[in-house]
Structure 1
Amino acid sequence: MNDYVEKEQKIRIQKEHDSIYQVLIQDGGYVSPNEYLWDDVLISIVLKKPVLLKGPTGSGKTKLAQTVSKFFNQPMHSVNCSVDLDAESLLGFKTIIQKDGVTTIDFVEGPVVQAMKKGHILYIDEINMAKSETLPILHSVLDHRRVLTNPFTNEVIVAHEDFTVISAINEGYVGTSPMNEALKNRFVSFTIPYLSGIELKKVVINEYPNTSEELIETILNIGDDLRKQVVNGLLSDDAASVRSLLDAIGLAEHMPVRRAIQYTISEKLDDKIERRLVMELVDTWVK
């Protein structure tokens, strides 16, 4: 039985016999904001489509990639993009080594080469922060060819059957730029929203099982108000970060809720008016 069929069967078995939410919650993994997003990402990966995750910081893009890695028992190699990212950071570099008294030149394989050869997941984070001239080297890796000619060694690398690419972007953030169309067209794109409602509560309870119901409800109510203001355009996306909300609960177990929200959410916002609005929303729930 080939790997493609095995992966398809694993998805089908899980859908037939388990609650996806419950399975992933128990593993401490990603929880889908709806009934289809997680399934659709898995289907795309099984079909060997490079996946692009779009969403604000703290929405769970990296957690989703980590959960895919755990679900398929497939190790993940990460690339954190920046303006300093170059071909060596992606593919590897040559180095001089001494062995048995002989000096030789060796090639240290980078994350792209390792993932392609071993059939692992390549996770490219904040892909729209890389310089536009750096990423075209991956075009042949991301399309139907799934092949790479290493410019440092001239080795032609054909991707392992299980090789998977997942990328993530934070759109509209400082330091980012629109993705090159040739690169974007190689991905299947998914919008990853912030969790809310029952899904968010499941994540919170899993993260902090011993926290009081009262504290959880207070923080979730504050989070709901923050999301509404983000939708209304009065707060930036960062204010509704699930990651920050979880951090706030962790601090609020040991200090007043107001200070916990101030440290984890309000103080991270650049705009003074936004910081004030966050604390005003907190004051409607905390007396």
Structure 2
Amino acid sequence: TIRHITIRKQSETVMTEALTTMHPKFHPKTTPTLMDKRAVRREQCRVNQARYRKRQRIWRRNLQQEKQRVEEEIQGLELKRQSIRFERKTNQSPWTIIGEVFHLLEDGFRSPWRLASMGEMMKHPETRQSLKFMQRSLVHDVAMGELRGINALMDQWRRYSLYFGEPHVELKRVEAVTPAVVFAVATLSVSITEFTVKWVFPHLKTPNDTVPMLDKKLVGQRIDCNCTVTFLFAEDNGRIIRLEPNIDLVSPMLQLFGRISDVSAVLGQALLTSEGVVGDMLGSGRD
């Protein structure tokens, strides 16, 4: 009997060990220490705070972008309202208007507000004076390529000052094709800087077999571009309704690189159209 009891206990012990091995739930539970709980809690707090800070940064950035969008929209509506007030026939000749347009361009390139945002730019007395002239000389929805409105043209004006080094424009001659179509010939000179490459030729910042270090040869160069601008005037009020610029970038680039394949690699993906409209990575007409 004693032997049977001993064998039975041994069998129960073996079965218990087997069950414990096969089923983890039979393992004795270990209680986390207070230090472990605090460490887990600290890590959770750190992760939560990081997520909160990230949400705050995104919220602030979105708020700033929305604020800028609303300000530019308000400014555009104000320009439209003021322009409509001036929708009467101008007493200036097309030659006078075109000459003044080029004069304003050149003055604007040298102005201290050229590095400001559109909102800041509009606060300067010089800008407001230029704006009054444009409202008298251009219709409120004046077009240039796909751009529409005086505000969009002034933004392009600002971008040339910002993206290129020491821009300079010189009017050469003005020719009347018809009473409502006037043709202007000019020269545009700009310097290519690191900032130019970053915002106008960004594809050159990732060298590959197609664009092997072309940015290095481009930076520091001063190029002179022949350009023409066709001005279309409204017959009823004599104001500009459309500008059709064309800038010859190929000739100075070919002179610089010597190979048409390099010129194609530089200009093919540039954020600059043949009409001279400078784009950016955030969308047309906005910084």
Q: Where on the TM-score scale, by shorter chain, does this alignment land: which range?
A: under 0.3
Larger radius of gyration: 2
Query: TM-score with structure 1 length normalisation?
Result: 0.23
Question: What TM-score, normalized to structure 2?
Answer: 0.23
Query: Which has the higher relative contact order, 1 or 2, with Cα contacts under 8 A spaced 6 or more apart?
Result: 1
Structure with the higher helix share, 1 or 2: 2
